[in-house]
């Protein structure tokens, strides 16, 4: 055998990572990169955080793994209590897993089992948005609205009722309020077509992630979705895998609008890249009903293992002690100001959007008509390549259902400083100039 035995999504040679510290990461050739996307919008505390490393080492000295059906773990109990506290009473129960896809599937399964347990087994459908991203395992993929990811597996996934995501950039109505009302009406009509009594839950990202480039929602939409759920008796699942744990300037993105979910999925920033850990959180009423009628028919080997929970607990405590949620709001506003200035300078930027340190930049061939670049130009990959050549890491995807359109996410660690943002903006400016001169 020759070459590298590893494979992931695509072929191609990547630099070999050496080490990292703060917002910086080095390859084995000594080149330094600014991690302006926190890896996969994951490394909320940056790299090499001393408190997290110390907590992991201490837990390793005690016990790294114990199985959830055999022992309780104090760090798991403490972490669950911390997470519940962060919801300010909105959610009461926590189920630990190892990834965002697992967290989403756990929410789907708990929601379904809840309705089975109360005699509403006719509820068999989920509703989700197009475009959206909820994970890549088959259950979570059935909620995802991103054509290239769905296409190979359409025949073997359950699918969901896909309804339009609000688009505050390309809407055709006279006002934003009219646009949101139209999207809500279309959502309600799609539910009515199958019957509201057949819906388990509506699943949405409170702020769009990789599939939409930080596409935003607003209070009108969130309140409208909550009303639809309540009227049809179904549940509201919020996917906070990417937007949660302080990234948007609140602990959870839904807190910007004050609309309470029934379940949320967490991951990414929860372990901040130090160890795989994720969680589903739910209202106590749902959990109690399921537990009283035979127990939750679900679980994973690594659910709630002590090393994962000790890591996440250290991440939460460091985020609190360093006041990083407030820093995300403050530095996010400064980053947004700088990106808006770059949009004035570079005609290829159609829109900058997002909140806190979750910012997206969409590229267009014509700003007036908002026309995307031809798909074959692969602008999302090209700007990422140019930025990486300058030592800047950004996170690219296609904007319009994965078929066309281009955006990147700029999502540095929550520890980022004003001076580091200046460096990010300078390198991004140079990369945009490189794109224009291509």
Q: pLDDT of 245-302, one tens digit each?
A: 999 999 999 999 999 999 999 999 999 999 999 999 999 999 999 999 999 999 999 9
348 DSSP β-pair partners: none
Question: What CATH code is assigned to 53-321?
Answer: 3.40.640.10
Contact between 183 and 221 (Cβ < 8 Å): yes
25 DSSP β-pair partners: 20, 33
The 8-class DSSP code of residue 374 comes to P
Domain boundaries, the chain: 17-48+323-436, 53-321
Q: What is residue 1's predicted lDDT score, i.e. its pLDDT?
A: 41
Terminal-to-terminal C-alpha distance of the chain: 38
Q: What is residue 10's predicted lDDT score, i.e. its pLDDT?
A: 73
User: Which helix H or strand E contains 179, and what residues bound it?
Assistant: helix 176-194
Residue 363 backbone zone (phi > 0: left; psi -120 to 50: alpha; other: beta): beta
What's the number of CA atoms in the CB half-sphere (13 Å) around residue 292?
Answer: 9
Q: What is residue 3's predicted lDDT score, i.e. its pLDDT?
A: 61
The pairing of strands 32-35 and 24-27 is antiparallel
Report the C-alpha gap between 187 and 427 in whole angstroms. Answer: 41
Q: What is residue 7's predicted lDDT score, i.e. its pLDDT?
A: 83
Please state the φ and ψ torsions of residue 388, each to the nearest 5 degrees.
-65, -35
What's the number of CA atoms in the CB half-sphere (13 Å) around residue 298?
Answer: 22
Please state the φ and ψ torsions of residue 201, each to the nearest 5 degrees.
-165, 155
Instruction: State if pTM tops 0.95.
Output: yes
pLDDT by position in tens, the chain (length 438): 446 787 887 767 899 999 999 999 999 999 999 999 999 999 999 999 999 999 999 999 999 999 989 999 999 999 999 999 999 999 999 999 999 999 999 999 999 999 999 999 999 999 999 999 999 999 999 999 999 999 999 999 988 999 999 999 999 999 999 999 999 999 999 999 999 999 999 999 999 999 999 999 999 999 999 999 999 999 999 999 999 999 999 999 999 999 999 999 999 999 999 999 999 999 999 999 999 999 999 999 999 999 999 999 999 999 999 999 999 999 999 999 999 999 999 999 999 999 999 999 999 999 999 999 999 999 999 999 999 999 999 999 999 999 999 999 999 999 999 999 999 999 999 999 999 887
Give the contacts of 7 (CB within 8 A, at least 6 positions apart). Answer: none
The 8-class DSSP code of residue 174 comes to S
For the domain made up of 17-48+323-436, the CATH class stated in words is: alpha beta
Report the C-alpha gap between 33 and 20 in whole angstroms. Answer: 9
Decide whether 17-48+323-436 matches 53-321 in CATH topology: no
The pairing of strands 161-164 and 93-97 is unpaired
């Amino acid at each position: 055998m020759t070459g590298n035995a590893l494979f992931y999504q695509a072929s191609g040679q990547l630099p070999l990572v050496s080490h990292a510290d703060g917002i910086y990461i080095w390859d084995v050739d000594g080149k330094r990169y600014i991690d302006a996307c926190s890896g996969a919008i994951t490394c909320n505390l940056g790299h090499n955080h001393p408190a997290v490393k110390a907590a992991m080492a201490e837990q390793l000295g005690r016990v790294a793994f114990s199985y959830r059906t055999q022992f309780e773990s104090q760090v798991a109990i403490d972490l669950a209590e911390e997470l519940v506290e962060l919801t300010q009473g909105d959610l009461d129960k926590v189920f630990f897993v190892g990834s965002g896809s697992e967290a989403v599937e756990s929410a789907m399964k708990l929601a379904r089992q809840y309705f089975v347990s109360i005699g509403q087994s006719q509820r068999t459908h989920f509703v989700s948005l197009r475009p959206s991203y909820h994970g890549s395992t088959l259950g979570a993929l059935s909620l995802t609205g991103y054509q290239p990811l769905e296409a190979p597996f359409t025949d073997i996934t359950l699918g969901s009722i896909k309804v339009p995501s609000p688009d505050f950039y390309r809407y055709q109505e006279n006002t934003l309020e009219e646009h949101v009302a139209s999207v809500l009406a279309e959502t309600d009509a799609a539910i009515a077509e199958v019957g509201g009594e057949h819906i388990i839950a509506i699943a949405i990202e409170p702020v769009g992630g990789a599939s939409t480039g930080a596409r935003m929602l607003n209070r009108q939409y969130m309140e409208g979705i909550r009303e639809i759920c309540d009227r049809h008796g179904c549940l509201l699942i919020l996917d906070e895998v990417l937007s949660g744990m302080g990234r948007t300037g609140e602990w959870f993105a839904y807190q910007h609008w004050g609309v309470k979910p029934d379940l949320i999925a967490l991951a990414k920033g929860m372990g901040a890249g130090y160890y795989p850990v994720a969680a589903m959180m739910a209202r106590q009423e749902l959990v109690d009903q399921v537990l009283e009628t035979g127990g939750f028919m679900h679980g994973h080997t690594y659910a709630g293992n002590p090393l994962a929970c000790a890591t996440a607990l250290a991440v939460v405590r460091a985020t609190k002690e360093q006041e990083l949620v407030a820093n995300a709001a403050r530095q996010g506003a400064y980053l947004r100001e700088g990106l808006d200035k770059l949009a004035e300078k570079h005609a290829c930027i159609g829109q900058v959007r997002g909140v806190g340190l979750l910012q997206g930049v969409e590229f267009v061939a014509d700003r007036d008509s908002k026309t995307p670049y031809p798909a074959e130009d692969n602008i999302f990959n090209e700007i990422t390549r140019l930025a990486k050549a300058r030592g800047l890491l950004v996170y690219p995807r296609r904007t319009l259902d994965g078929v066309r359109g281009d955006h990147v996410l700029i999502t540095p660690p929550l520890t980022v400083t004003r001076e580091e943002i200046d460096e990010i903006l300078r390198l991004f400016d140079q990369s945009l100039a490189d794109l224009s001169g291509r």
